[in-house]
């Protein structure tokens, strides 16, 4: 089975981690991001109860629809299916990508986390739409993120993945702040995934607008 040729933009890809937004309204945060330039949004709820995740995913999908921002679910393919999300993102220790694709079908967006050369070399690129590469910098938003690979590591892995499958998109993730965007995208990455720098900002809408501006400015300089 070959991967779908789904059209989507992951240049500014917020990751809404419920463990990093305690006490805040996830839907309001998502709308603030979408209103100010987010192009794709992921819901991550590692510790959340299944019922809550389904209800929240459905609410987020409805809230993002007017902005044409697809919703991706981290790890939980069952939640993605139940909520009718655009797709799912899996890690190296989650449901294997080939099984996730079989469950999601050919039209869903499917992403996979990669952080080493070995992982990149065994990536089933033919069934994926994008790969999340990192962590680029040290991050506190994901306990099992691994050691930072730095800009050179990102450049290397991005080059390897693009060489394997030119249509495969690469999004950088891990400790990326607003000021990092130009140097990260200059490595050849197709976008940036932002967690804390966006959703822990005092003004999420303002932070989103600033990130979107940096992404837009950096795009012409991309290799």
Closest to 158 in 3D by CA, of 166, 146, 170: 170
44 is annotated as an active-site residue: yes
46 is annotated as an active-site residue: no
Q: Which of 61, 76, 101, 142 is catalytic?
A: 142
Q: Which of 61, 76, 101, 113 is catalytic?
A: 113
Q: How far does the chain reach from its first CA to its final CA, in angstroms?
A: 30
Please give the Cα distance from 153 to 116 (Å, whole number).
Answer: 8
61 is annotated as an active-site residue: no
Please give the Cα distance from 93 to 162 (Å, whole number).
Answer: 23
Q: Which of 11, 44, 76, 125 is catalytic?
A: 44
Three-state DSSP class for 79? helix
Catalytic residues, which ones? 44, 113, 142
């Amino acid at each position: 089975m070959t991967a779908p040729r789904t059209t989507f933009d992951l240049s500014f890809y917020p990751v809404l981690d419920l463990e990093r937004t305690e006490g805040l309204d996830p839907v309001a945060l998502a709308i603030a991001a979408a209103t100010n330039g987010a192009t794709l949004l992921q819901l991550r709820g590692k510790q959340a109860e299944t019922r809550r995740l389904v209800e929240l995913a459905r609410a987020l999908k409805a809230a993002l629809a007017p902005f044409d921002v697809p919703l991706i679910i981290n790890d939980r393919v069952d939640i993605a299916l139940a909520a009718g999300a655009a797709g799912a993102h899996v890690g190296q220790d989650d449901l294997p990508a080939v099984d996730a694709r079989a469950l999601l079908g050919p039209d869903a967006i499917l992403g996979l986390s990669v952080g080493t050369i070995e992982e990149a070399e065994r990536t089933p690129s033919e069934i994926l739409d994008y790969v999340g590469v990192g962590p680029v910098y040290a991050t506190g938003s994901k306990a099992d993120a691994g050691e930072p690979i730095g800009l050179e590591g990102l450049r290397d892995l991005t080059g390897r993945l693009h060489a394997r499958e030119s249509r495969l998109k690469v999004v950088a993730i891990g400790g990326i702040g607003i000021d990092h965007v130009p140097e990260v995208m200059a490595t050849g990455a197709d976008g940036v995934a932002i967690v804390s720098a966006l959703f822990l900002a005092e003004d999420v809408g303002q932070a989103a607008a600033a990130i979107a501006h940096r992404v837009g400015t950096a795009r012409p300089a991309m290799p």
